[in-house]
Amino acid sequence: MLPAKVLMALLKKKLEGYYHNYGITDNSKRILAFHYIARCMLFKWLNRRSQRKSFDGEKFKRFLEKFPLPNPRIYVNIMDIRLPSAYMT
């Protein structure tokens, strides 16, 4: 069982990598959905650490204030990418 600090550092790296790979134009709904699912799965797995529930909604909210998840955002706007003039002929 990983300590919370280590677990959240690993999850943060994974989420940032996902957002960098899939954070492109017109994909904001999907990465927002992925962020939501990651939060739900984190809540589920943190509650599996003991036989009784470790977190309720309020405790989980305080946990995320201490260890925030990165917010999804668009990193690449494909509308701004311009082809070199040699390709436009």
Query: Containing domain of residue 50, as a range?
Result: 4-88
Q: 36 is written with which tokens? A: 């939501």
> pTM for the complete prediction?
0.80
What is the domain count for the chain? 1
Burial status of residue 48 (CB atoms within 10 A of its CB: 0-12, 13-18, 19 or more): exposed
pLDDT one digit per residue (tens) for the chain, 89 residues: 788 899 999 999 999 999 999 999 889 999 999 999 999 999 998 888 766 777 888 999 999 999 999 999 999 888 776 666 655 55
